[in-house]
Amino acid sequence: MADIIDGKAFAATVRKKVAEHVTRLKSEHNITPGLAVVLVGEDPASEVYVRNKGKQTHECGMNSYEHKLPADTSESILLALIDRLNNDPTVHGILCQLPVPDHINSEKVLNAISPAKDVDGFHISNVGLLATGQKSMVPCTPLGCLMMLRDRHGSLSGMNAVVVGRSNIVGKPMAALLLRDSCTVTIAHSRTKDIEALCRNADILVAAVGRPQMITGDWVKPGATVIDVGINRIPAPERGIGKMRLVGDVDFASASAVAGAITPVPGGVGPMTIACLLANTVTACCRANGLPEPEGLTA
């Protein structure tokens, strides 16, 4: 039976490190890191994420600035707000919650955020820096996965890693990070042939697909480390009529019987994502002020 990688507990240790660093920044340098989160429209899931981000930012001793704009906000008004935040020295991190309404070009918005304040790591400059192995702001979800993998294995050098999914926010940056840590990396996607055999060769298997329980135990190499990024809602009639539950892209029951270690859903990668957003904000603040970066909180 696989070891369960407890993302909730790991995220708590990351938040503790962030809070300790924030305390030092305040007492030694009179600087309080600030994170601005911009939400356009009234998507209920996004509102929950934004609320959680604000709460955890405060709990770590940082300033949180929430900017809620109506759904009919024009692109130019949103860009003007981002410009203002780019030039605000009390703001060290800026995040625009996705998705934005259809009339707004999300790429344009993400690329308007100053790369130094781009705590989501989605700006094209940060994407390029990561791809070329240089210091950058790293997307939060893959950063969280990398932290858990390094904690489990120490060095990842020489390991075979398979990342299932090639999205810009998870799959591609995850693959770039694993490559930078000297894994032999394969990216699989919807057109990949014989994907099961490919996965069975993986010492590290990262699933970022968005298909409930697609990866079953017979895809997993015995002893492999399985990181399940997927968050899927499926009907749970055993809990009552109309009830739902969260599952990953990995079939936990069968995969955990074969893997050496596995992240559960919920309680695995999910909690690490916000913790890494806080870590990125502290990192951005240190870089902006020419101070040493916190150890163990960057890629």
Catalytic positions: 53, 97, 120
Neighbours of 209 (CB within 10 A): 24
| 170 belongs to the binding site for ligand NDP (CB under 6 A) | yes
Take residue 256 and report the two structure tokens written for it. Answer: 């955990």
- Measured CA to CA, the distance from residue 22 to residue 64 in angstroms comes to 13
**Residues 33, 5, 154, CA angle at the centre, nearest 5°?**
75
Closest CB to ligand NDP among residues 77, 231: 231
Closest CB to ligand NDP among residues 19, 98: 98
Find the binder of ligand NDP among 82, 270, 280, 284 (CB under 6 A).
270
Q: Which helix (H) or strand (E) holds 68?
A: strand 63-69
Closest CB to ligand NDP among residues 84, 233: 233
**Region binding ligand NDP by CB under 6 A among candidate stretches 43-51, 53-61, 251-259, 265-273:** 265-273
- Measured CA to CA, the distance from residue 67 to residue 72 in angstroms comes to 14
Neighbours of 109 (CB within 10 A): 20
Let me know: does 201 contact 223? Beta carbons within 8 Å: no
Question: Is residue 103 exposed (0-12), middle (13-18) or buried (19+ Cβ within 10 Å)?
Answer: exposed
Residues 127-146, mask of contacts with ligand NDP (x by CB under 6 A): --------------x-----
**Region binding ligand NDP by CB under 6 A among candidate stretches 15-23, 32-40, 99-107, 191-199:** 191-199
**Region binding ligand NDP by CB under 6 A among candidate stretches 43-51, 103-111, 146-154, 165-173:** 165-173
Rg, Å, the chain Cα set: 19
Find the binder of ligand NDP among 74, 132, 190, 201 (CB under 6 A).
190
Closest CB to ligand NDP among residues 23, 52: 52
Binding interface with ligand NDP (CB under 6 A): 141, 164-167, 169-171, 188-192, 195, 208-211, 229-232, 269-270, 273
